[in-house]
Amino acid sequence: MEIIKVELSKLIIDENQPRKIFDEEQIKNLSLSIKKYGLLQPILVRQLEDKYKIIAGERRYRACKLANIKYVDVIIKENENITQIALIENIQRENLTPLEEANAILKLKNENNYTHEELSKILGKTRVYITNKLRILGIDDFTKKLLEHGDISEGHARALLAEKDISKRQKLAKKILSEGLSVRAVEKSVKKSDIISKDEDFDELIQMLEEKLGTKVSIQNNNQSGNIIIEYYSLDQLQDIVSNMIDNVI
């Protein structure tokens, strides 16, 4: 692996790289560090005639530019799997936002048909880590923007995903901002909402059965199982209920 020194002006940014948002304060701090100690880690590039496209290290490039550094150390990569290398380098080394990292992992997965298990080995992450990262891409645009801007955490986003009703999810997301809800509080709120939703479904079912059978009906629910209780107050009424049920089934 050869490290060479090139003019900073010959480096060009890869428009397809995962990182889209850069913290200007962090870039400024990095530039001060580079001014004082120099560039400690070379920038990974690919040569394109007289230019060099950045594979990994755009933050360092921006910091060097801010520090008015004229020449920088680079490592030139020549490989047919250059896109894959770029994605892996960015995921492993760069401080990506949760969504940037998730999109980079998804791109790596789709372009190479990797399973979650294969991705975990390539990136040095657990399979659960990979799965959780990819899950957050399924969130709605409103909540996604909150995550992208750092208004909510990745933990909040995953907890909100459990709320399937988008309007309820967005309402809860706004509550995180206004009340500073913890991830645990969001999880509890989603579970409570789910229970209420199920109760409402059962209320509709009970009403329908009572109208059909002409008597009081109750449902005892225990997650995936339970009992339906049909009340009767005389043998004649029981006979009518049974006849009604048979007629409706047949």
Q: Which of 51, 79, 107 is the last residue of a domain?
A: 79
3-state secondary structure of 111: helix
117 part of the active site: no
- Name the token pair of 68: 């008015």
Q: Domain for residue 59, yes or no? A: yes
pLDDT in tens, 211-239: 777 777 877 766 667 788 887 777 777 87
Q: How many domains does the chain have?
A: 2
- Alpha carbons 111 and 97: distance in angstroms, whole number: 21
Catalytic residue among 58, 94, 154, 163: 58
Q: Which of 79, 101, 136 is the last residue of a domain?
A: 79
Asked if the model's pLDDT at residue 250 lies above 50, the reply is: no
- Name the token pair of 205: 């079912």
What counts of helices (H) and strands (E) characterise the chain?
Answer: 11, 7
Q: Domain for residue 52, yes or no? A: yes
Q: Domain for residue 176, yes or no? A: no
- Alpha carbons 77 and 90: distance in angstroms, whole number: 14
Say which CATH number the domain at 70 has. Answer: 3.90.1530.30
Pairing outcome for strands 71-76 and 43-48: parallel
Residue of 113, 6, 99, 4 lying closest to 50 (CA atoms): 6
Instruction: Assess contact for 215 and 243: CB atoms under 8 A.
Output: no
pLDDT band at 110 (very low <50, low <70, confident <90, very high): confident
Residue 189: the pLDDT is 85
Full-prediction pTM beyond 0.75? no
Q: Domain for residue 110, yes or no? A: no
- Name the token pair of 61: 């490039």
- Is the Cα torsion angle 106, 111, 116, 119 positive or negative in sign? negative
Q: Domain for residue 34, yes or no? A: yes
Q: Domain for residue 73, yes or no? A: yes
Q: Domain for residue 243, yes or no? A: yes
**Residue reference for tokens 């657990």:** 126
Q: Which of 32, 52, 79 is the last residue of a domain?
A: 79
Q: Write out the residue range of the structural domain in which residue 15 sits.
A: 3-79
Q: Domain for residue 175, yes or no? A: no
Residue of 59, 48, 143, 42 lying closest to 94 (CA atoms): 59
